[in-house]
Amino acid sequence: MKKVFVGLATVAIAFAAPAFAATKKPAASSTTHHEKVMTLKEADKNKDGYISKSEADASPALSQQFSTLDKNNDGKLSAEEYAKHK
């Protein structure tokens, strides 16, 4: 009887452990930026992968640098252009 219980407990742990690890995983890189700098994910409100001028306006610092960061002058910042934002 005891052997059965231990077996069941082992199975329960084996199933529970990966699920626990997955939910506990911290959000990557969100704390590596300076306080005032949003990540591209945060700034990209409509999730199109680019930061438009109106999205940039949510951050005064970013809004100010928008035209400087927009190297190809397409009116939006790519991840590569946004990476230059400090």
Selected binder of Ca ion within 9, 33, 36, 48 (CB under 5 A): 48
Nearest by Cα to 55 from 42, 43, 47 = 43
Q: How far is the CB of 33 from Ca ion (least distance, A)?
A: 18
- When asked if residue 74 is in the footprint of Ca ion (CB under 5 A), the reply is no
Q: Which is nearer to Ca ion, 10 or 46 (CB)?
A: 46
Contacts with Ca ion in 15-44 (CB under 5 A)?
44
**Is residue 51 within 8 Å of 75, Cβ to Cβ?**
no
Q: Which is nearer to Ca ion, 20 or 78 (CB)?
A: 78
Which two three-digit tokens encode residue 18? 């990966």
Give the other-Cβ count within 10 Å of 66's Cβ. Answer: 21
